[in-house]
Amino acid sequence: MEMTYYIIEPIEGLTAKERGELISQELFFISRPKVVRDKKDVTNRLFRIITHAETGATVLCVPDPDYLIKVHPENDLTILMLLYPSLSKQEKDGLIAFIKSQDCFSFRVIVPSVSESVDHQYLIDNGFIQENII
């Protein structure tokens, strides 16, 4: 499966990079909320982000849209929902209810319909990365 990249737009108070980092972190916290994290944890993000050096445009890098996210029963989705101000209250409530009712779920099923995905060639064509970096 080829890597999928989701364009992260800035929102009021957050640059695209800041929002991307927070989205990745909050996705990680679904499985590993603060109550179970350890000082020895080596990460606090689920997916990496790439930020364009000149424009600040940002993408969330998802190795497999069917990646399974395990759900810890003590997760808190408040911040994740705040990161999607364009979703209606009904959409947010439905998303929360779905996640809370699962043991795990495919990342693909929670991608908001407003999210735009692009491929690796888009990143090359738009200067996010160079084609042949050694």
What is the pLDDT, as a whole number, of residue 133?
55
- Token look-up 């996010």 returns 128
**Tokens encoding 53:** 């050096």
What is the pLDDT, as a whole number, of residue 132?
60
How many other CB atoms sit within 10 Å of the CB of residue 43?
A: 10
Q: Which of 101, 105, 97, 28 is nearest to 66 (CA)?
A: 105
Q: Is residue 113 part of a domain?
A: yes
> Helices H, strands E: what count in the chain?
4, 6
Q: Is residue 107 part of a domain?
A: yes
What is the pLDDT, as a whole number, of residue 33?
86
Q: Is residue 134 part of a domain?
A: no
Q: Is residue 131 part of a domain?
A: no
Q: Is residue 62 part of a domain?
A: yes
The pTM of this model reads: 0.90
Q: How many domains does the chain have?
A: 1
Q: Is residue 132 part of a domain?
A: no
Q: Which domain holds residue 101?
A: 4-125
**Tokens encoding 128:** 């996010």
pLDDT in tens, the chain (134 residues): 678 999 999 999 999 999 999 999 999 999 988 878 777 877 889 999 999 999 999 999 999 999 999 999 999 999 999 999 999 999 999 999 999 999 999 999 999 888 899 999 999 999 998 766 54
Q: Is residue 21 part of a domain?
A: yes
Q: Is residue 133 part of a domain?
A: no
